[in-house]
Chains A and B, each alone.
Chain A
Amino acid sequence: MRILIVEDDRELASSLKSMMEAAIGVADVFETVADAEAALLAFKFDLVIIDRNLPDGDGLSLLPTLRQLRPRPATVVLTALDDPIDIVSALDKGADEYVGKPFEPMELIARARAVLRRYSLDETGCTQFGNLSFDLTNRSAMIGENAMSIPRRELAVLEALIRRAGRVVQRDNLEAAVYNIDEEIESNVLDSHVSRLRKRLREGNCNATIRTIRGIGYMLVQE
C-alpha cells in the first residue's frame, strides 16, 4: 500500500506518516496542493490523506484531479471544519471519508482501512476482512485457505456486509442489496439468511462475525 499525505504542518505530517506506516503502508508527505498534484500524476497511490487548509489553497481542490486518475486512489479528508455544510461539500466533491480533527489515531486508521477495502472490492473484486477473503468476480468467499460454499442470497448478504465491514448496515439497505424490487420479502427471511451465514462463518473458524444491532441492522466485526 502506498499512501500520500498532504499536510503543511510538519509535526502533524510526521506523526501521520509514522502512524500510517505502522498500520497500513509506506507514506509520502507533501505540503502544498501543487506538489501533491504533481506527485499524484507521476506516481500511483492507493490512499490519499488530505488536509483542508493548505498554504496554496483548499485541499478539496485536489479532488477533481483524483477523480480522473485510473486506478483512482481512496481519499480521506482531514479537517478542522466540521460544519455540516463543509462535510456535505467534501463528500459531494468525491471524498470517500471525512475525519474531523482532532481524531483518535485508531479512528483514522479504521476509516482508512474501510475505504481501502471498499476500493479493492470495486477495483479488483477482492477484499479481505480478518481471515475472511471475498472475491466478487468468482462469487466466492474463503476463510483462510478454505473456500466456503455459500448460496447466492447469503453471498449477497456477505458482500453488503463486507463492503461496510466495521460499520452498521441498516436492515433496509441489506434487503435492498439481496432482493430486487419485485421480490416479496417475508419479514424473517433476512434473519434466517444472516443466522445461516453466521453459522457458516463460525464453523469455518472465521475471526469475523455478524453482530445484530437491534432496531438498526447488522454489522460485520472482527473478534
Chain B
Amino acid sequence: MERPNSIAFPVAIVLILGMALMMVISTVLTVAVFLLTDGQSRKKIAVESVVELLQDGVGYDHTGKFVLEVEGVIAEKIIRLSEEQSDFWYFISDGTQSIIHGAVPASVQGIIDTTSPQVFSSEFSYVKGHQRFLGLRKLNAEDPPKLVVVGGVSFSNAETLLVVLREIWPQGLYHLLGIVLVATATIAVVAVKRTIATPVRRVVDSAEQIDGLPNGRRISDRDTPIELKPMVAAFNSALSCIDNAFEAQRNFLANASHELRTPLTKLRLKLDLVKDPDVRDVLVRDAARLASIVTTSLQLARLSGQSLTFAAIDLAVVARAIIAEHVPSAMNQGMDIEFKASEGRVMISGSEPAIRVALDNLIINAMRHARGTEVLVVEVLQARIVRVTDEGPGIPAAEREKMLRPFVRGSSSASEGTGMGLAIVSQIMMAHNGSVTLGEAADGGLVVDLAFPKIAKEPAPS
C-alpha cells in the first residue's frame, strides 16, 4: 500500500519515536544515577533479583526430581553472568532435595542451618578473603516451602542496570507511559493537521481564485504563513513568467497578423481594378484562400498557446447568435441556414469565443464545400451536441479521420479550402474535453457533430 503523502503523518511518527526515546533515556539515566551514587542498594537489588529468578526457576521434572530451569533471555543472561563469578553461590532446597552451586561459605552454612523456618526472609553480610559480600535467604510460601539462599553476587554497573531494567520492565508505569504516548501522538496528529493544513488550505483557496486571464490574480501574500511565503512567491513569479510568455506570444501573433493581413487587404482591394472578369474571379478566389489560411493559422496558433477561460453557457443561445451572423453571407450565395434547438437550455462549461471560432469554421467550410446547395442545418441537441449538416458532396469515410489534422484537404474539396478549419475545430473540442465526429447525411452530405461533456455541476439558478 502506498503511504499517503502527508505532512501530519511523518510529524506524528517523529513525535512518537522522539517521546519514546526520551522516556527510555530518562529511565536509564535515572536508574544509572541512582545506582552509581548508592553501592549498598545496588548490591541488594542484584542479590534480590537473583533470588527471585532462582525461586521462579525451580520446579520438578516428570520424574519428580527437583530441577532449576530459568526461562527468559534476560533472566538466563543474569544467571549466567552470576555463575561466571568465582565467589557466587546459591543453595536451593525444598526440605528433601536440594540444588547447590558454588561453594557455600562455612559461616553462611551456619545461618542456613540455624535460622528458624518461621523467618521467611533474612539478609546478612559476610566476609570472604578481604571482600565483604551480601547474602540473602528467602523462604517462599509454597508447600513444601522452597528455600533459596544466594551470596557472592558482584555485578558491574552495566550488569546491575540490566538487572534493574528487567525488574521494572513489566510494571504499570510503562503502561501509563504508553497511554500518554498514544494520547500525545493522537493530539499531535490532530494539532499538526490544524496548524499546518489550515494555513496551507488558505493558500490553496487563494490559488483557486486564479482565473487564467492574462495579468490576473496572484496568491495573496497577506494571509500566508512565513513558512509558505517562499512557495507562494515562487508560484506567483511562475505565474508572472507565464503571463509574460503569454503576452509575448500575443504580441507576436498581433504583429504577424498585422504584417500579413494589411498587404492581403491591399491585394484584395486592388484586384477589383482588374478589368477582365475571368482573370479577376480567379485572383479574388486565390486571395480569399490566402486570407483564409492566414486567419485560420493565426487562430490555431492562438488556440494552442493559451488556456481557455470556461464559463457555464447555454449552447443553444450561443449557437443561435453565431449562426445568425452567417445568415446574410449564406443568403448571398443562395443558401438558407436553418437552426433547430431542442426545448430548454443546453448548459455546458465552455469558452464562448472558442466555440464561436469552431462554429464559424464549420459554417464557412459548409458554405464553401456545399456551394450551390440550398439548405445548411445547424442543430443543438439536448445531449450537448451541435450538429451541422450540409447537402454537399461529403467526405469519404476513409478520409474523415485525417481531415482533423492541420493542412489536410479533402480530395474532392474546392480550391479555396485551407485544410485548417477542421483541425481548429478539433483543437477547440479537445480543449473542451469534447469530440468531433464526421459522418454522412442521408443524402450524402457531411454531418459534423461537436459533442460537449456533461457539465460538472449545475450552476445555481440566479
Contact = CB atoms under 8 A, between A and B. Distances in A.
Do chains A and B stick together as partners?
Answer: yes
A120 B456 CA distance: 48
6 contacts: A80-B257, A80-B265, A85-B353, A101-B261, A105-B269, A168-B324
A12 B340 contact: no
Contact of B324 (A53, A105, A170): A170
A83 B253 contact: yes
A216 B268 contact: no
Contacts of A167: 324-325, 327-328
A15 B272 CA distance: 10
B265 A213 contact: no
A87 B341 CA distance: 28
Residue picked from A83, A102, A107, A215, most chain B C-beta under 10 Å: A102
A15 B324 contact: no
A100 B254 CA distance: 13
A17 to B, nearest CB: 10
B320 A102 contact: no
**Which are the 5 A-B pairs with shortest beta-carbon distances?**
A215-B339, A84-B353, A15-B269, A80-B261, A168-B324
B270 interface: yes
Given A102-B268, A102-B291, A105-B268, A213 B258 contact: no
Interface of A: 9, 11-12, 15-16, 19, 52-53, 80-86, 100-105, 107, 110, 166-168, 170, 211, 213-217, 219, 221
Query: Which of under 10, 10 to 19, 20 to 34, or 35 or more describes the interface residues of B?
Result: 35 or more
A12 B324 contact: no
Contacts of B253: 83
A217 B302 CA distance: 33
Residue picked from B253, B265, B353, most chain A C-beta under 10 Å: B265
A170 B267 CA distance: 36
A216 B376 CA distance: 13
Given A9-B262, A11-B266, A16-B269, A215 B257 contact: no
B265 A216 contact: no
Given A167-B328, A219-B327, A221-B331, A83 B341 contact: no
Contacts of B378: 215
Given A12-B265, A81-B254, A83-B254, A216 B324 contact: yes
A118 to B, nearest CB: 16
A101 B338 contact: no
Contacts of A16: 269
B321 A219 contact: no
A213 to B, nearest CB: 5
A203 B357 CA distance: 42
Contacts of A219: 327-328, 331
Residue picked from B260, B294, B324, B353, most chain A C-beta under 10 Å: B324
Contacts of A19: 269, 272
Given A12-B262, A216-B323, 8 more contacts: A15-B270, A102-B291, A104-B268, A167-B328, A211-B331, A214-B340, A216-B320, A216-B337
Nearest to B316: A215
B239 to A, nearest CB: 19
Contact of A214 (B250, B260, B338, B356): B338
A52 to B, nearest CB: 8
Given A9-B262, A15-B266, A105-B269, A82 B257 contact: yes
Nearest to A169: B324
B293 to A, nearest CB: 11
Contacts of B268: 102-105
B381 interface: no
B93 interface: no
Contacts of A11: 266, 270
B258 A80 contact: yes
A216 B327 contact: yes
Contacts of A216: 320, 323-324, 327, 337, 339
A168 B327 contact: yes
Given A12-B262, A168-B324, A105 B257 contact: no
Contacts of B337: 213, 216
Contact of B320 (A82, A107, A215): A215
A80 B262 contact: yes
Contacts of A214: 336, 338-340
Interface in B297-344: 298, 302, 320-321, 323-325, 327-329, 331, 336-341
B134 interface: no
Contacts of B320: 170, 215-216
A102 B288 CA distance: 8
A61 to B, nearest CB: 16
Nearest to A168: B324
Contacts of B269: 12, 15-16, 19, 105
A101 B265 contact: yes
Nearest to A103: B265
Contacts of B261: 80, 100-102
Residue picked from A110, A214, A215, most chain B C-beta under 10 Å: A215
Residue picked from B258, B323, B341, B378, most chain A C-beta under 10 Å: B258
Contacts of B341: 215
B289 to A, nearest CB: 11
Nearest to B354: A84
Interface string B245-284: 0000010011001101110111111101000000000000
Interface in B179-206: none
Contacts of A83: 250, 253-254, 302
Contacts of B260: 80
B373 interface: no
Nearest to B351: A84
B413 interface: no
B236 interface: no
A168 B294 CA distance: 28
A81 B336 CA distance: 30
Contacts of B258: 52-53, 80-81
A168 B328 contact: yes
B79 interface: no
Contacts of A166: 328
B295 interface: yes
